[in-house]
Structure 1
Amino acid sequence: MSAESLARATSSLYGLLVGDALGSQFYVPANRRALTDRALPPGPWQWTDDTEMACSVHRVLAGHGGIDQDLLAASFAARHDFDRGYGPSTGRMLRLVREGGDWRALAAELFDGKGSWGNGAAMRVAPVGAWFAGDVPEAAAQARLSAEVTHTHPEAVAGAIAVAVATATAATGSRPAPGRLFDVVLEHTPPGLVRDGIVRARHLLTIGDPVLAARELGNGRAVSAQDTVPFTLWAAARHLDDFAAAFWTTASAGGDVDTTCAIVGGIVGAVTSPPPEWIRMCEPPPEWAGVPAYRPSPGNARS
């Protein structure tokens, strides 16, 4: 394990946590006007299952330098808090793992043996990409391992790979141009609906309206990888240097706001720090995760 890898993954995790916790506030009807006005809702902001699972990913990376699927499955199951907003299929699977079930069989059996193509694998994977910054093939391979623990459908795996590759490419410090970021992602994302959406997202980079972009790409409302990942890459690629702009752009499109903002926050957080007051407003990471106190990783500028 290198200190630089840990610092990058931790920065990405905090970006993911902020995006998740702040994004989740806009499900509250009283806060929806604040979203229109880009005003911060009252705190503290509580994170959801997105962050809880990402903390397990970070813990396994910090302890082993890569994804050990058995350890990750055990951590997901042991730390599963039903009240954090897990989807019913994932929640049931983790309960069965906790009771002694085989995660490999349980994940493969979901949805009549097709596996889940939900956005859950993509929402937690950005720290993997940050850890393996500069080694895109390894980031993609490790993202696949992290996804398969709960999501075996090829589209869910492709979504996780795409987010990890985007993070690994962005976190090198070179701040790639949006088109270049997409080119690298497309080079490593397997064929399918997720990749087709990413191709469309690249063509929409000149559009500045997130609502129009989401109308074409999806905003996570269907909770599928293909309905979530293309738009989040569009939003992240356009705002790698400005965490606040990336967040508000993503949140303004509606949909599965905590998850889309968690994905974008994880990518952008590996490059650009969230505003310090936003971090202070968030519920801190859980103690069991052993996450270091937030410090921007080298080259991570403040918004």
Structure 2
Amino acid sequence: MTFTLYPDTRLMLARDSLAGLSVGDALGSQFFVPGRAPGDLAAGLLPPPPWQWTDDTEMACSVLTALAQAGTIDRDTLAVDFAQRCEPYRGYGPGAVRILRLIRTGTPWPVAAASAFDGQGSCGNGAAMRVAPLGAWFADSTHRAAAQARASAEVTHAHPEGIAGAVAVAVAASLAARARLDGDRPAPARLLAAVAAALDPATEVHQGVRRAVGLLGRPLAEVVAALGNGARVTAQDTVAFTLWVAATHLADYPSAVRACVEAGGDVDTTAAIVGGVVAGYTSVGTPGGVPNDWLAAREPLPDWVD
């Protein structure tokens, strides 16, 4: 189906994706608090509000604001926005804090990003965790979603795996939002195959997404054993798992987030990625969508979000 995507529609899709990302992030972060068990959520026991969001949401807000203001990603502007808005207490990793400090003090972002990990660049899951709203924004073109995701990733992640993680999530979010518009929900295998086709075959992220296809329908514990759960905080250990969850639970946001909590690992980030993709399809407050009470429990987003 070919369609024209008007600016208001792009913004609606991206905002819904941001809502799903931020609620998943904030709820997932509650399970790092001692005394809270994954089984609580499965039993319908929600943590007491407010649920504080982390760096995942803060950076996603900058991505969406950049798109709302310019319609495209300007890497120079986004790098400065990330650096100036960084609140380290939100859970930024040491590598991200160092890169953003360098940018804030005048180091060009290509130099700062390339300096990470002894010049290898970061292959962390940070570029993937913030990019789902961008994918939803480009629901009319997975090609543009991939290109813009790459641009958004490069300001902090110079490693091919970190960039591939962002591209994979953006393409998945683009396909999910497009499915919402045209009413053609992709089968899980078709969604994952389309994501894999957009990735560099030499990357581990590509290989992981391909493995995820063969794990559809398998128990969650088996999937985690094969793909990871973000515990290593790398794109390789995070993205394939999150896309397996999103493809499996594309029409059921609460089930998707519960799967991330049950899997353990980097729960706030996996729930943020999955939540951003799934909410682009389900919306907010609809059957299977982001529950209104979950959204109300989430800490309000920053005042500067456009």
TM-score normalised over the length of structure 1: 0.93
| Structure 1 partner of 2:20 | 15
Match of 1:204 among 208, 215, 226: 215
| Structure 2 partner of 1:283 | 299
**Contact preservation (8 Å) 2:83, 2:100:** yes
**Residue type of the alignment partner of 1:246:** A
CA distance in 1, matches of 2:80, 2:89: 19
| Structure 2 partner of 1:300 | none
**Residue type of the alignment partner of 2:115:** E
| Structure 1 partner of 2:75 | 69
**Residue type of the alignment partner of 2:126:** G
**Residue type of the alignment partner of 2:64:** H
| Structure 1 partner of 2:101 | 95
The answer to whether residue 41 in structure 2 is matched with residue 25 in structure 1 is no
**Contact preservation (8 Å) 1:26, 1:35:** no
**Contact preservation (8 Å) 1:38, 1:248:** no
CA distance in 2, matches of 1:244, 1:183: 24
**Residue type of the alignment partner of 2:216:** L
Alpha-carbon distance, 1:67 to partner? 0.8
| Structure 1 partner of 2:152 | 146
Alpha-carbon distance, 1:37 to partner? 3.4
Alpha-carbon distance, 1:35 to partner? 4.0
Alpha-carbon distance, 1:134 to partner? 2.5
**Residue type of the alignment partner of 2:133:** P
CA distance in 2, matches of 1:37, 1:91: 37
Match of 1:49 among 51, 55, 59: 55
- The secondary structure found in structure 2 opposite 1:66 is coil
Deviation per CA, 1:137-196, whole angstroms, max 9, x where unpaired? 110000000000100100011111000000101111222111110111011011211111
Runs (5+) with no aligned partner, structure 2 = 1-5, 285-289
Deviation per CA, 1:184-240, whole angstroms, max 9, x where unpaired? 101101121111111111100121x22221111000000000000000000000111
CA distance in 2, matches of 1:90, 1:234: 26
**Contact preservation (8 Å) 1:116, 1:152:** yes
Match of 1:193 among 204, 207, 215: 204
The answer to whether residue 253 in structure 2 is matched with residue 243 in structure 1 is yes
**Contact preservation (8 Å) 2:140, 2:174:** yes
TM-score normalised over the length of structure 2: 0.92
Alpha-carbon distance, 1:22 to partner? 0.2
Task: Determine what percentage of the aligned residue pairs are the same residue.
Answer: 55
CA distance in 2, matches of 1:97, 1:162: 26
Deviation per CA, 1:230-255, whole angstroms, max 9, x where unpaired? 00000000111111011101210000
Distance 1:17 1:94, change over 3 A: same
Match of 1:126 among 116, 129, 132: 132
- The secondary structure found in structure 2 opposite 1:29 is coil
CA distance in 2, matches of 1:97, 1:47: 23
**Residue type of the alignment partner of 1:258:** D
**Contact preservation (8 Å) 1:214, 1:231:** yes
CA distance in 2, matches of 1:35, 1:193: 32
**Contact preservation (8 Å) 1:16, 1:264:** yes
**Contact preservation (8 Å) 2:110, 2:155:** yes
CA distance in 2, matches of 1:194, 1:166: 13
**Residue type of the alignment partner of 2:190:** R
CA distance in 1, matches of 2:63, 2:15: 11
**Residue type of the alignment partner of 1:2:** P
